[in-house]
């Protein structure tokens, strides 16, 4: 799905993309979660896909704007 996502920003910050070693608690966010969603890059969305184990309806052909929009829609439409 988002296997081609890359970002030098994530590498520069020293925040590797890792699969969580345990299931996240309800309401948990990534340790380096960026609340400014408009700044998201492909790697940020990919991190969220891995963390939440949900693809948010994103497909390879989606632009970053479409991916962010689908993530926002997921947040708005999900009953937590």
Tokens coding 53 = 């184990």
* Mean pLDDT in residue range 15-31: 66
Predicted pLDDT of residue 61? 93
Beta carbons of 74 and 57 less than 8 angstroms apart: yes
Give me the residue spans of the domains in the chain.
Answer: 8-77
pTM of the model: 0.62
CA 6, CA 16: separation in Å to the nearest integer? Answer: 11
Any residues with CB less than 8 A from the CB of 32 and at least 6 apart, and which?
Answer: 13, 15
Of 25, 30, 79, nearest to 51 by C-alpha is 30
Choose the weakest-confidence range: 8-12, 35-39, 63-67, 72-76.
8-12
């Amino acid at each position: 799905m988002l296997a081609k996502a890359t970002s030098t920003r994530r590498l520069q910050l020293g925040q590797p993309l890792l699969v969580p070693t345990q299931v996240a608690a309800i309401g948990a966010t990534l340790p380096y979660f960026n609340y400014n969603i408009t700044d998201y890059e492909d790697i940020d969305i990919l991190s969220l896909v891995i963390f939440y184990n949900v693809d948010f309806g994103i497909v390879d052909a989606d632009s970053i704007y479409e991916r962010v929009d689908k993530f926002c829609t997921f947040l708005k439409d999900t009953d937590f």
